[in-house]
């Protein structure tokens, strides 16, 4: 409803409303008043009647569509496009697609036929579903190709004036992609004055600058280049590149060339940032997967081949809690974190007390025994639940991505997992450094007989330490359930990577695990674009094999007495 009373077209098509439209109008009015808070002052008195005088014109305009010839139809469409009514874009799109139908009544009923279902339709004015026989009887409002083309851009224009900012942004992006006619420039300039959404405003400026760059005079072109200098949209960059190559004015060409270089260096920077982010994100997944192993293998020296299955138990706990409380995804995820810690931790304590405690000092035997346990756990899950993957859903806030600019967008799930991995790591460091359990764990790892002599119950400490490592694996499972399939085999995917991280970082050193995970993640993601994912992984594995030759104790080896065993 922008400047409707200044549009001569609008005036011409204004009709007295019938009783029915009067009723519909009341309905529409309440809706329109609700989502049109930006009504410009001076537009008219705020009394319902004044707005009412405005509203029916859109409805009548819609009813006018079938009448007259193609040119009349085009004029009506133009008027509709500038009316700013939320229903208009869909009507124009339907008209262009040949899905807009009109009944033979007077006034005709305008029906939008469903795109997928030829028999279903909705009333263009009220939005109600229309009976199938009405759809079948109604006739198509005819269009021809010139009109269809005009309608496409009119549809975008109509959305530019939409009351909802996200619609405006979408249609502006589309207009930038498709390009606009010169005669729309005044309308767009008008919009720029009233546009208050910052993103839409930027897009509008870009759109205008791209248009100026093609049609404006020298000063306008120069200014347009300056406006587009900071834009990373592909269309804007293409327009500037074209100006750099073939603009008749030298000043414009030079400015454009400089702008192209500027944009390219920024893009390189953002691509690098993106690779780095992917690398850190892959690294945080590795960190989560390996952090429990850094305790069980790194601190305790147990080659825990069932580590992957403890991750799997955490993931299954997530799934189980989700099925218990179906509606509340966020709550279930947050509940799953402590639950997975407890469940996997208890399984870990049972493993330690049942098997591993008899095998200390025989690392290769623990390897075989824990591998046996991993097979049992896998098969238990297969038998209890199913050999198939379980569906785990993600809450709303984990999907989608953070669009920083057209070349750089970061997925929310990866950002959250990165933050989560850091939080888990910090929590673990605090437990190890600040709590009495951490103190005892370190004491037992350094000198078991001495710790025992000083009254530390080493058996309990062993069990709790192993439980802590197992619990961390479970917590990792919660996070990984959001990224990959949850199935009986999921643990196997992480076991080798986890061992690589711990060995690469240096056994017994938590910071080593952190640096190792992030380093390997970043390395993989920087190799990946050049050789592909599988080969990148192979290269990283070979790198680790060679690295171990060079530094058999990893990046940060343990020093002093603790290193001797």
Partner 1 sequence: MLTRRLLTSDWGGTFVLGLLVAMLIAVPIANLVVPPDSPYYLSSYWVALLGKFLTFALLALAIDLIWGYAGILSLGHGAFFGLGGYAMGMYLTRQIGDQGVYGHPVLPDFMVFLSYEELPWFWLGFDMFWFALLMAMLVPGLLALVFGWLAFRSRVSGVYFAIITQALVFALMLAFFRNEMGFGGNNGLTDFKDILGFPVQARETRVALFLASGIAVILGYLACRYIVTSRFGRVLIAVRDAEDRTRFSGYRVDHYKLWVFVFSAVLAGIAGALYVPQVGIINPGEFSPIRSIEAVLWVAVGGRGSLFGAIVGAFAVNGAKTWFTVAYPMFWLFALGALFVLVTLFLPRGIVGLFRRRREGES
- Residue 298 CB, nearest distance to partner 1 (Å)? 12
Using CB under 8 A as the binding rule, whether residue 538 contacts partner 1 is answered as: yes
Q: Which tokens go with 400?
A: 């989608």
Least CB distance to partner 1 at residue 557 (A)? 12
| Residues in 2-21 at the binding interface with partner 1, rule: CB under 8 A | none
* β-strand pairing of 110-113 with 401-405: unpaired
Nearer to partner 1, 395 or 557 (CB): 557
Query: Which of residues 136 and 538 has its CB atom nearest to partner 1 in the complex?
Result: 538
Measured CA to CA, the distance from residue 523 to residue 358 in angstroms comes to 39
- Residues listed for the chain: 565
Select from 27, 324, 376, 404 the one that contacts partner 1 (CB under 8 A). Answer: 376
Q: Minimum distance from CB of 306 to partner 1 (Å)?
A: 9
Residue placing its CB nearer to partner 1 in the complex, 29 or 541: 541
Question: What does the angle CA 265 – CA 268 – CA 270 come to, to the nearest 5 degrees?
Answer: 110
- The answer to whether residue 503 forms part of the interface with partner 1 (CB under 8 A) is yes
**Tokens representing residue 416 in the block:** 């959250």
d(CA 541, CA 543): 5
Sorted by sequence, the CB contacts under 8 Å of residue 537 that are 6+ apart come out as 524
Taking the complex as a whole, the smallest distance from the CB of residue 538 to partner 1 amounts, in Å, to 5
- What the block records as the tokens of 524 is 């993989």
By CB under 8 A, residue 40 contacts partner 1: no
Q: Does 544 bind partner 1 (CB under 8 A)?
A: yes
Who contacts 20 (Cβ-Cβ below 8 Å, separation ≥6)?
A: none
Task: Determine if 371 is a binding residue for partner 1 (CB under 8 A).
Answer: yes
Residue pair 492/311 in contact (Cβ under 8 Å)? The answer is no
Residue 363 binds to partner 1 (criterion: CB under 8 A): yes
Q: Determine which residue in the list 47, 49, 183, 364 makes contact with partner 1, applying CB under 8 A.
A: 364
Q: Does 350 bind partner 1 (CB under 8 A)?
A: no
Helix/strand/coil for 112: strand
| Nearest distance from C-beta of residue 534 to partner 1, angstroms | 5
Closest CB 525 distance from partner 1, rounded Å: 17
Contact status, residue 208 vs residue 185, Cβ threshold 8 Å:
yes
Closest C-alpha among 294, 300, 38 to residue 168: 38
Determine which residue in the list 281, 378, 481, 513 makes contact with partner 1, applying CB under 8 A.
Answer: 378
For partner 1, the closer CB: 270 or 543: 543
Name the minimum Å distance from CB 252 to partner 1.
48
As measured in angstroms, the least distance from the Cβ of 506 to partner 1 is 11
Instruction: Name which of residues 277 to 336 contact partner 1 (CB under 8 A).
Output: 303, 305
* Stretch of 12-20, 236-244, 341-349, 359-367 lying at the interface with partner 1 (CB under 8 A): 359-367
DSSP string, 208-253: HHHHHHHHS-HHHHHHHHHHHTT---HHHHHHHHHHHHH-SSHHHH
Question: Residue 475: is it exposed, middle or buried by C-beta count within 10 angstroms (0-12/13-18/19+)?
Answer: buried
Angle (CA) 400 405 406, round 5° = 85
177 C-beta neighbours (distance < 10 Å), count = 12
Quote the strand ranges of 381-472, DSSP E: 401-405, 408-411
Least Cβ distance, residue 226 to partner 1 (angstroms): 48
Q: Supply the minimum distance, in Å, between the C-beta of residue 486 and partner 1.
A: 19
Q: Does 496 bind partner 1 (CB under 8 A)?
A: yes
Residue with the two structure tokens 């005079």:
217
Give the one residue of 423, 545, 562, 563 binding partner 1; rule: CB under 8 A. 545
Q: Which stretch binds partner 1 (CB under 8 A): 94-102, 149-157, 159-167, 373-381?
A: 373-381
- For residue 303, give the nearest of 491, 469, 459 by alpha carbon: 469
Q: Does residue number 563 form part of the binding site for partner 1 (CB under 8 A)?
A: no
Full DSSP string of 167-214: HHHHHHHHHHHH---GGGHHHHHHHHHH---HHHHHHHHHHHHHHHHH
**Looking at residue 105, what DSSP letter applies?**
S
Q: Supply the DSSP string of 134-145, one letter for each residue.
A: HHHH-EEPP--H
**Looking at beta carbons only, is 317 or 374 nearer to partner 1?**
374
Question: Is residue 374 a contact residue for partner 1 (CB under 8 A)?
Answer: yes
Please compute Rg for the chain using Cα positions. Answer: 33
Which residue among 347, 369, 408, 490 contacts partner 1 (CB under 8 A)? Answer: 369
Among 149, 379, 401, 403, binds partner 1 (CB under 8 A): 379
CB of 276 to partner 1, least distance (A): 24
Task: List binders of partner 1 among 383-422 (CB under 8 A).
Answer: 383
Residues that bind partner 1 (CB under 8 A): 303, 305, 355, 358-359, 363-369, 371-376, 378-380, 382-383, 492, 496, 499-500, 503, 534-535, 537-538, 541-542, 544-546, 548-550, 552
């Amino acid at each position: 409803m922008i400047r409707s009373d200044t549009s001569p077209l609008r005036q011409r098509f204004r009709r007295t409303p019938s009783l029915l439209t009067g009723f519909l109008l009341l309905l529409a009015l309440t809706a329109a008043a609700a989502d049109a808070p930006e009504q410009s002052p001076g537009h008219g008195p705020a009394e319902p009647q004044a707005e009412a005088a405005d509203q029916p014109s859109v409805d009548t305009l819609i009813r006018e569509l079938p009448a007259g010839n193609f040119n009349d139809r085009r004029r009506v469409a133009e008027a509709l496009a500038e009316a700013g009514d939320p229903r208009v874009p869909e009507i124009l799109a339907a008209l262009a697609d040949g899905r807009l139908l009109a009944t033979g009544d007077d006034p005709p009923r305008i029906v939008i036929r469903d795109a997928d279902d030829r028999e279903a339709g909705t009333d263009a004015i009220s939005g109600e579903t229309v009976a199938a026989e009405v759809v079948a009887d109604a006739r198509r409002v005819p269009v021809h190709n010139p009109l269809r083309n005009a309608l496409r851009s009119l549809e975008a224009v109509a959305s530019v004036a939409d009351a909802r900012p996200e619609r405006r942004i979408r249609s502006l992006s589309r207009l930038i992609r498709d390009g606009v006619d010169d005669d729309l420039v005044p309308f767009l300039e008008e919009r720029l004055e009233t546009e208050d959404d910052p993103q839409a405003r930027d897009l509008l400026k870009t759109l205008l600058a791209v248009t100026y760059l093609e049609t404006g005079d020298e000063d306008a072109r120069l200014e347009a280049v300056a406006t587009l200098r900071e834009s990373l949209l592909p269309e804007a960059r293409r327009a500037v590149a074209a100006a750099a190559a073939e603009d008749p004015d030298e000043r414009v060409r030079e400015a454009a060339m400089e702008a192209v270089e500027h944009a390219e260096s920024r893009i390189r920077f953002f691509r690098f940032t993106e690779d780095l982010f992917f690398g850190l994100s892959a690294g945080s997944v590795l960190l989560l997967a390996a952090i429990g192993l850094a305790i069980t293998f790194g601190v305790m020296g147990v080659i825990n081949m069932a580590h992957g299955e403890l991750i799997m138990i955490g993931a299954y706990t997530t799934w189980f809690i989700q099925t218990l409380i179906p509606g509340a995804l966020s709550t279930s995820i947050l509940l799953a974190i402590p639950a997975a810690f407890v469940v996997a931790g208890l399984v870990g304590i049972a493993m330690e007390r049942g098997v591993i405690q008899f095998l200390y000092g025989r690392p290769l035997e623990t390897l075989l025994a824990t591998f046996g346990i991993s097979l049992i756990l896998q098969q238990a899950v297969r038998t209890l639940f199913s050999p198939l993957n379980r569906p785990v859903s993600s809450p709303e806030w984990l999907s989608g991505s953070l669009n920083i600019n057209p070349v750089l967008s970061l997925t929310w799930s990866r950002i959250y997992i990165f933050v989560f991995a850091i939080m888990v790591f910090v929590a673990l460091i605090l437990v190890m450094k600040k709590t009495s359990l951490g103190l005892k764990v370190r004491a037992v790892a350094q000198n078991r007989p001495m710790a025992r002599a000083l009254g530390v119950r080493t058996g309990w400490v062993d069990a709790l330490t192993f439980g802590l490592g197992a619990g961390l694996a479970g917590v990792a499972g919660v996070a990984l359930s959001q990224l990959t399939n949850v199935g009986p085999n999921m643990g196997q995917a992480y076991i080798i990577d986890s061992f690589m991280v711990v060995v690469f970082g240096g056994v017994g050193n938590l910071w080593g695990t952190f640096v190792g995970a992030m380093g390997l993640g970043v390395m993989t993601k920087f190799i990946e674009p050049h050789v592909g994912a599988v080969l990148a992984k192979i290269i990283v594995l070979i790198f680790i094999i060679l690295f171990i030759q060079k530094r058999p104790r990893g990046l940060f080896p343990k020093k002093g007495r603790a290193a001797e065993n």
